[in-house]
A and B are shown apart, each in its own frame.
Chain A
Amino acid sequence: MAEGFKLSPTPIEQFNLANGLRIILCEDHAVPVVSVAIYYNVGSRNEKVGRTGFAHLFEHMMFQGSENVPKAGHFQYIFNSGGTMNGTTSTERTNYFETLPASHLPLALWLESDRMRSLKITQENLDNQRSAVQEEKRLRYDNQPYVNAFLRTNELIFKNPANAHSTIGSMEDLDAATIEDVQEFFRVYYAPNNAVLTIVGDFEIAEAKVLVHKYFEEIPSQPPPPPVDTSEPEDVAMTQEVYHDPLAPAPAFVLGWKIPPRRTPDFYAISLAADLLFEGDSSRLYQKLVKGDESVVSIQGGIDERRGPSAVYIFALPKPGEEVAAIREQIVEEIRSLRTSGPSAEEMEKLRNSLRNDVVRGRQSTMYRAQRLAEYALYDGDPSLVDSELDQYLAITPEQIRSSVERYLDVENRVVLDIVPAAVAEEGESVAASPQPSGEPQQPAAPAPQVPATAPSEPAVEARALVPGSASAQLEPPQQPADPPKQTEAGSGPLHT
C-alpha cells in the first residue's frame, strides 16, 4: 500500500574539533529559526551509589552562571532574544537545547561554550538548585498518584544499581551532594570530547563552522570518563510486590519486562510487538480489555529505550470490582496469542505506515531533528540513522515479532507491581506509604511554558505517559493535538499565550 513512499535524505554535515567535540549541521531554510542541542554523554547511569539524582541536579547547575554569563543569565539571554530553551536528564545523557530566531545562532553558541568552558560553581547556587530540584521531585513524583510506583517497577526489573535507580534520585542523596561533587562531575563529564553539538535550521554551513571553531575549539579536552557497566543478568525472575500509594484513588497494576538494548533486531521486534499490544485504540489490549471485556478503564504501555538493557511496561487501571488477577490473565493470554500466531498482515501494514508517518512528521520541527541527530551521533556515532533506522524497523518480519514475544514477553520472567491505595482521605489518619523510589526528571531546568520541545527518548516520558489522565507523549514526533487547549493550559502560540 505504501509503495512509492520515498523520503529525501536529511542533509547532514559533520565534523570534529581537535578537542574531540563532534558537530552535526543540518540546513533548513523553511522558517527563520535555528535549533541548537548539546548532548553530554552522562546520565543517571553514571551516578555513584549515594549520589542518585546527581546528574540531574548538575544539569540545573548549568543554568547558574559561568565566567561571562551571570546566574540565570542563560534564561534571560535566550528568552529575551525570542527563544525557548530547556535541559533534561535521562539514564543515558544530559541534554541542553534552544530554538531561537535564526539571527541569534552566535548567542546560542556563545552561551553553550561559556558554560562548557567555565561553569561557575558556588555553594549558594547549589543550595538554591537543590531546593528547586526537591520541589520538582515533589511536584512531579511525590505529589502525583502512580508515578513513584513506576520508579519502583524499574528497581524490580533491573538488578544493576546503574540501571535500577531513578534519574530524580532520593531526597537524602540530593541533600548529600557537595560542591566538590559538582566540580569533579563537571571536570570529568562536561568536556568537549564527551559531547555532541547539533545545529538545525536557517543558517549557512560555512558561517556556522566559523562560529563553532571560534567558540569551542579552545576548550580543553579531558581524559575519557570512567566506563559505565550497565550489564544485567537476563532474568528478572518473576517478582511480585505490593506498592502502597497514598495518592492513588483506585487500585492499578504495572507489568514490566527486561528487554535487549536499543538498536538490536530483538529490540525493534519487541517494540513493534508492544505497539500492537497497547498503542492506540486499535491495539489488541485496548480492544480486548477496555472495549471487549470492559474490565479496565485504561491500559497504557511504554518502552524505556536504553543503550544497555531496556524495559517494556504495561499499566492497567481496572474498573472497580474487577478481579485484578483475571485481568492479568487476559493480558497474558493476548501476549500468548501474539506468540502463537504472530501479527496479521493488517497489523504489519499498520506498523509500517505508522513508522513512516512518525518519521516524516518528526521532520517538521528543527528542535526535534536536532535532538534525534544528537542522540544518534552520541549513542551510535552515526547521525544518518535519523533516516536509516526507519529501514531497520521496516525490515522486521512478522516472524521476528512473533519469536521476540516468545523469547521476552511470554515468560514468567516479569515484574508485577500491584498498586494499592493506602487508606487516605480521612484526616489525621496515619498512612503507611511505600518507600519512595526516585524519579525521572523531564524538562527539568525550567519548564518551557510556551513551546514545549518533544524529548525524543526520555524514559521519563514513559512513566508520565502511563499516568492516567496525562497526555501520552512517548517516543513520538510532534503529533496532532488531541484536544484544543483547555482553559489556561499553556497556550500554543501568540494567540493563546
Chain B
Amino acid sequence: MNPQHNFLQQPPPPLPPRAIKLPTAFETTVANGLTVVVIEDKRLPLVSFRLALRTGDAHDPKELPGLMDMLTGLLTEGTESRTSRQIADEVARLGATLQAGANSDYTTVAASSLAMFSDEILELMADVVLRPVFPENEVDLAKQNTKESLKQQRAQPSFLANEMVAKVMFGAHPYSVTAPTPEAIDAVTRQRVVEFHRSKFVPNNAVMIVAGDVEQDSILKRIEELFSGWQSGDVVGDDFPPQPSRTSRSAYVIDRPGSAQANIIIANRGLKRTSPHYFPMLLMHTVLGANASSRLFMNLREEKGYTYGAYSSLDARRTAGTFRATAEVRTAVTGDSLKEFFYELDRIRTEPVSDKEILDAKSYLTGVFPIRLETQEGLIDQLVQIKMFGLPDDYLEIYRNRVQAVTIEQIQEVAQTYVKPDEAAIVIVGDGAQILNQVKPYTDEIEFYNTAGKRKNHPTGSAATSHAAEATLAGDWSLQIDTPLGQSIPATLILANTVKGLSGRVESEMGNGELLSATFDGESFAAIVSFEVAGHTMEAHIAGEVTDEQMEGNISFQDAPALSFSGNRNS
C-alpha cells in the first residue's frame, strides 16, 4: 500500500460557491379578494397548484373538533356536477393528484399534473373548492371511517405522546386539540359541514399559488375565469384564549403496558412563528437538537446508545408554540435518558454555545435552504408558509441574512427565556410500572393516564419490583425438567430484564424457545414460551419462583400436564 496521501488527511476545501437563483413570483389580487401567485418554471413539463386558506383546525367549532379535517376529506367526494367516483376517475385519468388537508393554522387544496393537463386539473380543483355538495352518504361514511382511524391512531405511541403534550401545553387554546372524540364525530351533520364550508372557504382569506410550466398571463386569466364567481365573505381572525403558563415541572405518563419503548417528550412554552426571537430560537434549536450532528443526538444516541434518535423540535405556529426535546428510548434507560436531556437543557441555558457551533448551525441552515427549492412542491411549501404565517414577502431573500445575523448572546438569551427545565412538562408513553421509579427523581408531580387519555392511579407493579426482578430473576439458570416417565431433561433458562420488563429464552434438547410475554411479581414470574420444534411453533406456559440462587417452577405444553423443574443460577 502506498503511504497515505496528505490530501486525504483533512477535509478538502470547498469549490467556489455557486449563486442561488431565487425564482421570481408574480403576485396579484383579483376582484373578490383572492390573491394569486404565479411562478413560471419551465424546467420540466409539470404544473402544481395550491390553494391555501388562513383557517385551520384551530377554528373548528368548540363542540366539533375535527370538522375542518372532515370537510377537507369530503371536498373530493362530490360536486354539483360530479360524483365522488367521477372525480376520482378524472383525476386518475390525467395521472394527476388532487388532495385537501388542514393543520392547526391553515387549510390547503393541492393539485398537480403534467403541464399538458394543466387546464383539466385546474378546472377540477376549482369545482371541488367552489361547488362541493357533501352528499349525505359520503358524510356518513367519512364519520364511520374517521372513528376507525382514531382507534388506529391511539395504537401509535407517538400520537398518544403528542396528544398529551398539546393538552397540557395549550390548555384552553385550541391547539390543545389534536384529534376529535368519537362523540364529536357522531355530532357532525351534513348541514354543519355545508355551513362551515360556506363560511370558511372565502376568497378574501385565500391564496392561490401556481408553479410550473405555464404562461403567466393565460394561467391568470384562467384562474380569474374559474374563481371569479367565488363570493367573498367575513374573515374571522385568531381570537383564541392565551396559552397557559407553567410554574413547575411535572410528568404525565401514559401507561401502555408491554410498550417496547418509552416515548419521551419534554416540552416548554415556545413562541409564535412571527416572534422576533424566531431566528435566535432556530439557531439554538439547531445546536441543541435539529439534526444528527446536534448535541442531543450526539449524546443520547452516539454516546449512550439509548435511542435511534434524539431531537428537539421548534413548534412555532401562528398564535402560540412549544419547544420540545424528544426521543424513543428503551424502557430500562428512561431515567438515564431524562438525566441526559436535563443535562443538555441546562447546558444550553448556562453556557454560551461555542464559536464553532454557531458557525456550523448557520452553515447548516443556509446550506439546506436551496435543497428545499428543487421541487415545485418544496417551493410552494415555502410560499404557503410565508402567506399563512404573515411573513415578509421577501422572506426567501432575507432568510439567509437573518440566520447569519444571530449572535451567541442572542442564542443564550432565548435559551434562558424558552428552555425552562423547572417548568417543563415531561410526557412519557410507556410501560408505567417500569417507568414510575425512573421518573420520580425528576419530579414529584406525576400523573398517570391510560391510552384512552383518562386519568388513572399509579400502576401497582412499581419500578422497585422491576429492579428487584432484575436482581433476583435475571441470569442464566441451569434447570432439570422432570418428565412423567421419570426422566430428567436439562434446560437452560436465560432471563434478562429488558423491554417488556422481563425477556429471555429457554434452550433444551426439546428445542429452543423464546419468552414472548412475561410478567413478574417480586421473586416469581410467568411467561409464554414459543418453541421451534422441527419447523413447527409450539407454545408453552412457564412459571417459576426464585429463592436466592435456586429456582423452582413448572412448564406446560398446550394441553399436556405441567412438568415441574428446578435448578440453580449459573455463576
Contacts and interface: CB of A to CB of B under 8 A. Distances in A.
Interface of A: 2, 4-5, 7, 30-33, 67-68, 71-72, 75-84, 99-107, 110-111, 113-114, 127-136, 138-140, 142-145, 172, 202, 207, 214-215, 218, 220, 246-250, 280-282, 287, 290-291, 294, 297-298, 317, 319-320, 346, 349-350, 352-358, 360-361, 363-366, 424-425, 427-428, 430-435, 446-451, 468-469, 478-488, 490, 492-497
Contacts of A84: 368, 371
A436 B551 CA distance: 28
Nearest to B309: A447
Contact of B258 (A79, A346, A424, A497): A424
B363 A138 contact: no
A32 B370 contact: yes
B174 to A, nearest CB: 12
A446 to B, nearest CB: 4
Given A132-B307, A249-B152, A287-B88, A142 B260 contact: yes
Interface stretch (B142-150, B182-190, B345-353, B476-484): B142-150
B88 A469 contact: no
Interface string B448-469: 0001000000011100000000
Contacts of A133: 308
A102 B15 CA distance: 8
B532 to A, nearest CB: 8
B395 interface: yes
- For A101, A172, A282, A317, which residue has the most chain B Cβ atoms within 10 angstroms? A101
A432 B516 contact: yes
Nearest to B388: A484
Interface of chain B, helix or strand or loop or mixed? mixed
A430 B528 CA distance: 8
A291 B313 CA distance: 38
A495 B372 CA distance: 10
B110 to A, nearest CB: 5
Contacts of B111: 480
B76 A494 contact: no
B156 interface: yes
Given A101-B17, A435-B530, A446-B297, A478 B375 contact: yes
B237 interface: no
Nearest to A496: B385
B372 A354 contact: no
A135 B308 contact: yes
Nearest to B101: A483
A53 B219 CA distance: 52
Given A282-B91, A482-B101, 11 more contacts: A72-B298, A110-B8, A135-B307, A135-B330, A143-B259, A145-B155, A355-B95, A446-B292, A469-B149, A482-B99, A487-B162
Contacts of B157: 143
Given A428-B257, A450-B368, A483-B108, A71 B302 contact: yes
Interface string B502-539: 00010000000010111100000011101000000101
Contact of A107 (B9, B11, B329): B11
Contacts of A83: 367-368
Given A138-B499, A319-B144, A82 B293 contact: no
Given A357-B95, A364-B375, A31 B370 contact: yes
B357 to A, nearest CB: 9
A207 B15 contact: yes
Nearest to A29: B18
B8 A68 contact: yes
13 contacts: A30-B43, A32-B18, A131-B306, A134-B330, A135-B261, A282-B88, A350-B95, A363-B44, A364-B46, A365-B375, A484-B102, A495-B391, A496-B381
A79 B364 contact: yes
A433 B527 CA distance: 11
- For A31, A128, A140, which residue has the most chain B Cβ atoms within 10 angstroms? A31
Nearest to B153: A469
User: Number of contact residues on B: which range applies?
Assistant: 35 or more
A493 B384 CA distance: 11
A139 B307 CA distance: 9
A430 B542 CA distance: 12
A487 B499 contact: no
A460 B527 CA distance: 31
B12 A110 contact: yes
B367 A135 contact: no
A480 B110 contact: yes
A450 B148 CA distance: 30
A413 B459 CA distance: 48
Interface stretch (B244-252, B314-322, B563-571): B314-322
B407 to A, nearest CB: 19
B368 A106 contact: no
A427 B450 CA distance: 10
A5 B155 contact: no
Nearest to A427: B257
Contacts of A68: 8-10
Nearest to B375: A364
Contacts of A106: 12-15
B95 A356 contact: yes
B92 interface: yes
B328 A32 contact: no
Contacts of A448: 291-292
A138 B103 CA distance: 29
A490 to B, nearest CB: 8
Contacts of B461: 428
B95 A484 contact: no
